[in-house]
Amino acid sequence: ATQPDESNLDQTGDIERNDQEPWRTTGQVTNAAGTPIAGVTVRAHTGIGSLRQSGETTTGADGKYDLRFGPGFWSENMQMVQAATISVQLDGHFERNLHRQGDRIAALEKPDGELGWGGKTLDDLFLPGESKEINFVMLPAAKVSGMVIGPNGDKLDGVRVSLVGAEMPPSSSVVANTQTDKGGRFEMTGVPTGFKFQFLIEPYEAKPPWLAWASAPMVFTQHDDGNTHLEYSIDGNPIDFSCQQLNLILNGNGVNWKTALKEAAERNLELTWDGLSTDKLVRAGMAFLELGNEPE
């Protein structure tokens, strides 16, 4: 982890204010059992509207980090209040709370009156000369891989595949996203488990009328066999479901992306598959998920 430069310490042992990186956060990253995790990347993003990365460090052997970061924009306003998001990243893992505890604000001076930042309080405010402790817990993430198939049965290359949901990391519009290759294939790793997400399929260049396809909500579960695992039930009975490849079948011409998500959110997850199936278990080579208008 980044350690303070002792030449920059005052007589009290505190770090002097750095005009370029006036804010500081410290903490520890552990697993669910409380064991420290080394080598986790900790980042700060700051600004208004579009945030930019303004600080980065990694955890040490004890899982602890010390991160100094700066503004995402500069202005003549001496307060310079702005969003400040602290997040963590480790391959194959996700933060248990989607690092929502890192959803903060920062300023060079304490603002006058109410903060007026979406329910934020002074406890959420970074100020120069003060340090805030933010701890994180990393859990093993899920993996999802598959193929996007168009209404005519074509394997679609160059389309955007995103996972979105009601519960998202701060300052994020998607929890994961990628692009299909020339064979229509896609893969996402680091997918959070235990949250409801929807697939959103869009052309690579989104243009009016912003046509898209969306899936019913689903919950991914984590396993170490490289397959895609989902919470699934048949007639209300939960089953152990996994597949090697989850194929997304697009129906119709697509609709506005907001409409697509809203309509699909009201549907139950319905899969078909090719593979071993019992009353309690499905092990599929391929599973199929219909998106968009129901096929006639």
Lowest-pLDDT choice from 128-137, 203-212, 264-273, 283-292? 203-212
Q: Which of 121, 140, 127 is nearest to 78 (CA)?
A: 127
How high is the mean pLDDT of the chain?
89
pLDDT range class, residue 1, cuts 50, 70, 90? very low
pLDDT range class, residue 26, cuts 50, 70, 90? very high
pLDDT range class, residue 15, cuts 50, 70, 90? very low
pTM of the model: 0.85
State the Cα–Cα distance between residues 105 and 107, nearest whole angstrom: 7
CA 86 to chain centre: 13
Please state whether the peptide bond connecting residue 238 to the residue before it is cis, i.e. omega within 30 degrees of 0: no
State the Cα–Cα distance between residues 104 and 46, nearest whole angstrom: 9
Q: Is residue 2 predicted with pLDDT exceeding 70? A: no
Here the tokens at position 76 are 């003549």
What tens digit of pLDDT does each residue of 213-240 get?
999 999 999 988 889 999 999 888 999 9
DSSP 63-127: SEEEEEE--SS--S-SS--EEEEEEEE-TTEEETTTTGGGEEEE-SSPPSS---STT--GGGEE-
Q: Which residues pair with 191 in a beta bridge?
A: 142
Lowest-pLDDT choice from 82-91, 109-118, 235-244? 109-118
pLDDT number for residue 215: 96
DSSP 199-255: EEEEESS--TT-EEEEPPPEEEE--SSSSEEEEEEETTEEEEEEEEEEEEEEESS-E
State whether residue 291 is helix, strand or coil.
strand
State whether residue 257 is helix, strand or coil.
helix
pLDDT number for residue 13: 33
Here the tokens at position 234 are 């048949």
